[in-house]
Amino acid sequence: MQGLSARRRNNPVTTKQQLLAHPRLMFSCDAVTSGAPDPAVFAGQVPVQARERKGTFFTTWSPLAMAPIVAPPPPTTFLELLPTLDQWERDLFDTCHFLVPCHKALHIVCTEPLLFASDGGAASPKASFGWVLSTNQGQRLLHVSGPAYEAHPNSYSAEGYGILSVMRFLFRVQSFVTETLSDSRLCCHNKSMVASSHKVPAEWKRTPNSTQTSDYDVLAEIWATRDLLPVTVCPAVLHIKGHQDKKTACEQLPLPAQLNVDADKLAGDCVAAHPNTDYTVVPILPTGGVQLHLPAGTITCNMKKEVSMARTTEPMKQHMIKKHGWDEETFLDIDWEAHRRGANRHHKRRTTLKHWRRDVPRDLLSCVQVPSKKRLEETVHVGFAQEAELFGH
């Protein structure tokens, strides 16, 4: 094994890059730099003493008298509390608009039964949520909306973010005020999200594999927050029919439906208000703790499919380019989304496996490799659109 000194002797030119590249690097300097240093470079840096021995720079750390870090004063109002939260939680209250004075709203939260209505919407590649807080008499107290992050947004996760935002609101208010919160109901029109968020799954259902289910990070955070809330404070999550204003005037609808319409509008306005927000990178939620990042963004649902797509798309693309003598530009010029939709629409997609291999021209749906019979059986639902879906995302 060649020592550091020997390597220095062999290569006497010392540059910053070489020093940085060394695994045992303790300090780096730029030997070719000359002239007066820019003071801006040292802003916020602590001076150290460095000495060189056999080509390696060692630093001597002498703690300097530093000004003690003064803790910021605790927030006195709820609105002051919001900026002190972690980034992921701040995003849940991205747009927070009290319709009555904040202290009055918090007083009502503690004294009167409440009604929340949450809604989420997704129009790829963007998704958002919105929720409304109201008294049972219909007095609106608070409007909140925010982005729902995901590489491939769907309304399920957007609804999840809405419910999570409500839960975190109750948790923060409960820790902020001294009184006990009154009981509340939360209306949401996504039945599956209502069912999922309603209660934590039984212990025996929680396996490592269950963490791969769609939008587990949001659900886990909802369940964790529910556990932090007293039973009396935890809102009852109810399902209501959505978009009822399509047939009936909004004023004539029952209060939960009216609030749902308001929440829907808030979610739509949120997307319109943030046209440049990048929704593909999901802030990590503390309970989830781990994320899968692919070039398309953070993957929080359809893990197996997304990983499989990420693995096979590029080889498939190269195979088709080679087979048909296309160049990259030609390949990208083909509308694969229309191809996917056309293939999915065709009745042959529903053909059974037995007839599948014989009845379908191979070239039409060329694959990189012929999957085993078992795999084909597993993917028979995708079947016909296998190639198409590769390029549909």
Partner 1 sequence: MSGLRKKLNSLGTEIGLMEVMLAGVKSALTRQQFRVPQELRNLAAAQEAAGWIHLFKGRISKQWINRQRDHIGDKATTKNNALNWATTVIDHFFTQWFKVWDQRNLDRHGHDYQGRANKLKDAAFREITRLYTFAEAVPEDIRWLFQTPLEECMHWPLFCQRAWISNWENIIKKEHAAQMETG
Site string for partner 1, 226-265 (x = CB under 8 A): ----------------------------------------
CA distances from 47 to 27, 43, 52, 134, 390 (A): 12, 10, 16, 56, 54
Count of residues of this chain found to bind partner 1 when the rule CB under 8 A is applied: 24
Whole-number CA gyration radius for the chain: 28
Nearest-angstrom CA–CA distance, 154 and 127: 7
Distance CA(124)–CA(145), nearest Å, equals 18
Q: By C-beta, is 8 or 319 nearer to partner 1?
A: 319
Q: How far is the CB of 320 from partner 1 (least distance, A)?
A: 9
283 vs 392, beta carbon nearer partner 1:
392
* Dihedral sign of CA atoms 298, 301, 303, 308 in order: negative
Q: Contact between 270 and partner 1 (CB under 8 A)?
A: no
- Least CB distance to partner 1 at residue 11 (A): 50
- DSSP code of 125? T
One of 1, 333, 354, 369 touching partner 1 (CB under 8 A): 333
CB 257 within 8 A of CB 241: yes
Contact flag: residue 341 with partner 1 (CB under 8 A): yes
Per rule CB under 8 A, is residue 338 in the interface with partner 1? yes
Instruction: For residue 346, state whether it binds partner 1 (rule: CB under 8 A).
Output: yes
Residue placing its CB nearer to partner 1 in the complex, 299 or 388: 388
Contact 179, 142 (CB under 8 A): no
**The binder of partner 1 chosen from 326, 376, 382, 393 (CB under 8 A):** 326
Q: How many CB atoms lie within 10 A of CB 76?
A: 9
CB of 365 to partner 1, least distance (A): 9
Out of 339, 368, 379, 392, point to the residue binding partner 1 (CB under 8 A): 339
Whole-angstrom CA distances from 51 to 13, 20, 21, 23 are 18, 17, 19, 18
- Tell me the two tokens of residue 380: 């028979």
Q: Interface with partner 1 by CB under 8 A: which residues? A: 324, 326-327, 329-330, 333-335, 337-339, 341-343, 345-346, 348, 358-361, 363-364, 388
